[in-house]
């Protein structure tokens, strides 16, 4: 077998196997969340991983590690006196959109560049000709699922990297480091990860989420986001006697979705800073059907226009079929963190320096999504998002590079180092 690709630094090479072992182990724990559940966490199984992480942190010597009343894992690692307190954050939940039960991680050592057919579902193929990020990682050790589930690198890669870095810092007390606060949240994927986050108890001066993707990226800008639920109430009648009576909510929902622009304002037709309106869940019957949409944009004014567009389409549908009832509920999820991050230039400069020390050329990036950091930044804790090495998130074709994950773990160690140094 060919040798695996080189790591970005000796430290990354030292951390790699621990990061890999942790990702594989954490990925097997089902932590899938649920949209619009009233409970917190939205699914109790998320706490299976949270409790395990508390136990592992205690074993590492972080004596205050605990599961808080609002379902966050908090823990501390002392550091240089007088240095800013550095927060490290990742989330335990995985997306509700793709199953996370029965994950079977596969490690592809020293990948040779050929297409990867996932054995659980041979229709699922990772083709480097269609995936430029994958094509750039010939020789890397890759982790995938078997093609029947997501992998869960979003955000278990981030968790593994934080845990590996903390373990390393515990074993190497001679390395300069800032005091650390570690947090693992629930329900980030349903927009509630920072809902009850106690900033005062957390006690960090600056923080970073480990929830990004591509090697070397530091995300300082997120979407602003709203979720919109449209409830359509029709009239169900036995189909044998339905002529002139039936008002089919399912058909009305289909017509509403079909009225969305076909060539713009959708995830499949946009990129960069372009926003979208995305129907992601439909449930119901002829009597009542619910359609859940998410609206996203990096510009708050444009986001408001997207929501207004959907409201207008609902009004038009209601006018066409006055016998039906249409209800629209809009919830704000989070706002672009960029203006909050811009007020704290050192939080960006320190991360870029830490990435360099990990042997990677850093690059500022935007994310076409959101993070716990967007909410926390708006609440006063500047929290950019650091890469993890995972790719193709929210998909059965999700994959991660061990070399990139190791670089992220090394970046965390260097972050602790940088924040221990004078400003």
User: Is the pLDDT confidence value at 1 over 80?
Assistant: no
The per-residue pLDDT for 4 is: 85
Convert the pLDDT of each residue in 19-65 to its tens digit. 999 999 999 999 999 988 889 999 999 999 999 999 999 999 999 99
Decide if 209 contacts 372 (C-beta within 8 A): yes
Convert the pLDDT of each residue in 124-134 to its tens digit. 999 999 999 99
The stretch 361-368 carries a mean pLDDT of 94
Q: CA nearest 260: which of 310, 321, 318, 320?
A: 310
Quote the DSSP letter at residue 389.
S
From the list 56, 141, 187, 188, the catalytic residue is: 188
**Residue 398 catalytic?**
no
**Residue 93 catalytic?**
yes
Q: CA nearest 165: which of 63, 89, 80, 82?
A: 89
Beta strand segments in 213-297, E? 217-221, 224-233, 276-284, 288-297
Report the length, in residues, of the chain: 423
Please report which helix (H) or strand (E) contains residue 405, including its range. Answer: helix 402-419
Q: Which two tokens stand for residue 253?
A: 């929902």
From the list 30, 56, 93, 211, the catalytic residue is: 93
Q: CA nearest 297: which of 370, 206, 231?
A: 370
The C-alpha atoms of residue 58 and residue 293 are separated, in whole angstroms, by: 41
| Alpha-carbon separation of residue 143 from 88, 96, 118 (angstroms) | 24, 21, 11
Convert the pLDDT of each residue in 294-306 to its tens digit. 999 999 999 999 9
Please report which helix (H) or strand (E) contains residue 74, including its range. Answer: strand 73-77
Convert the pLDDT of each residue in 152-196 to its tens digit. 999 999 999 999 999 999 999 999 999 999 999 999 998 887 888
């Amino acid at each position: 077998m060919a040798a695996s690709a080189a790591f970005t630094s000796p430290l990354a090479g030292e951390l790699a196997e621990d990061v890999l072992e942790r990702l594989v182990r954490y990925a097997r724990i089902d932590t899938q969340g649920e949209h619009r559940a009233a409970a917190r966490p939205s699914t109790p199984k998320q706490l299976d991983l949270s409790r395990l992480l508390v136990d592992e942190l205690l074993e590492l010597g972080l004596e205050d590690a605990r599961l808080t009343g609002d379902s966050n894992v908090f823990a501390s690692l002392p550091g240089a006196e007088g240095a800013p307190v550095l927060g490290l954050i990742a989330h335990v939940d995985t997306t509700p959109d793709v199953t996370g039960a029965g994950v079977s991680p596969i490690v592809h050592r020293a990948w040779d560049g050929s297409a990867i057919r996932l054995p659980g579902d041979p229709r699922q193929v990772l083709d480097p000709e269609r995936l430029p990020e994958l094509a750039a990682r010939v020789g890397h050790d890759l982790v995938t699922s078997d093609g029947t589930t997501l992998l869960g690198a979003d955000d278990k890669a981030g968790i593994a990297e934080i845990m590996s870095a903390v373990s390393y810092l515990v074993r190497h007390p001679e390395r300069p480091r800032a005091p650390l606060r570690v947090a693992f949240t629930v329900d980030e994927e349903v927009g509630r990860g920072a809902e009850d986050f106690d900033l005062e108890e957390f006690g960090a001066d600056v923080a970073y989420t480990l929830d990004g993707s591509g090697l070397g990226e530091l995300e300082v800008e997120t979407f602003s986001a709203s979720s919109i639920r449209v409830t359509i109430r029709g009239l169900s009648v036995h189909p044998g006697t339905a002529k002139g009576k039936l008002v089919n909510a399912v058909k009305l929902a289909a017509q509403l979705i079909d009225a969305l622009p076909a060539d713009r304002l959708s995830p499949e037709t946009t990129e960069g800073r372009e926003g979208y309106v995305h129907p992601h869940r439909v449930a119901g019957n002829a009597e009542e059907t619910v359609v859940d949409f998410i609206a996203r944009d990096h510009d708050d004014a444009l986001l408001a226009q997207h929501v207004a567009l959907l409201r207008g389409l609902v009004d038009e549908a209601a006018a066409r079929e006055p016998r039906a009832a249409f209800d629209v509920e809009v919830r704000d999820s989070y706002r672009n963190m960029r203006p909050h991050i811009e007020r704290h230039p050192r939080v960006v400069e320190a991360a870029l320096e830490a990435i360099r020390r990990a042997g990677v050329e850093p690059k500022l990036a935007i994310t076409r999504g959101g993070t716990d950091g967007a909410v926390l930044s708006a609440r006063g804790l500047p929290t950019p998002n650091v890469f993890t090495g995972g790719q193709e998130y929210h998909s059965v074709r999700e994959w991660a590079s061990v070399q990139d994950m190791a670089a992220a773990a090394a970046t965390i160690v260097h972050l602790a180092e940088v924040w221990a140094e004078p400003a």
